[in-house]
Amino acid sequence: MFMQEMFDRAIIGFDLSRKPDVQLIASITQTKAFYLAELFVQSDKRRHGLGRKLINQLIKQVISEGYLSVALRTSASPWLIEMYSKLGFRIVGEQQVTTIKKIAGQELKLPDDRVIMINDLYST
């Protein structure tokens, strides 16, 4: 019930065609790819499988809507890459973006290494 309420209230992704930069880096040519835009688990709720459950539910939903793959862009953090890899995602590209962070009341532009990952939902 809790997860369904979260899905009902939040847009966490959309058709990959709305993210041409990711589509280009990932070399995704198929027309039915879903882009997972945002997924955050509250820090005190992490390491309990909630992120895995959310992604598995998302995958079921996008399959029912006819999508062939799910793509995402995430920080190049080893633990995030490992988590997504265990869920069937693989790295297909890298990207460096600039992130604006507020540190000690001052906004700083910092480089942020990202990876593009894809889960081919029907691969064998």
Split the chain (124 residues) into runs of 10 and give each run's mean pLDDT: 47 59 61 75 74 84 86 88 93 84 86 88 71
Cβ proximity of 93 and 72 under 8 Å:
no
Amino acid at 15: D
Q: What confidence score (pLDDT) does residue 79 get? A: 86
Count the domains in the chain: 1
CATH number at residue 68: 3.40.630.30
Global pTM exceeds 0.75: no
Written as six digits, the tokens of 83 are 């988590």
Q: Check residue 19 and give its pLDDT.
A: 66
116: containing domain: 2-120
Query: What pLDDT does residue 108 have?
Result: 87
Tell me how many degrees the CA angle 59-62-63 measures, rounded to the nearest 5: 80
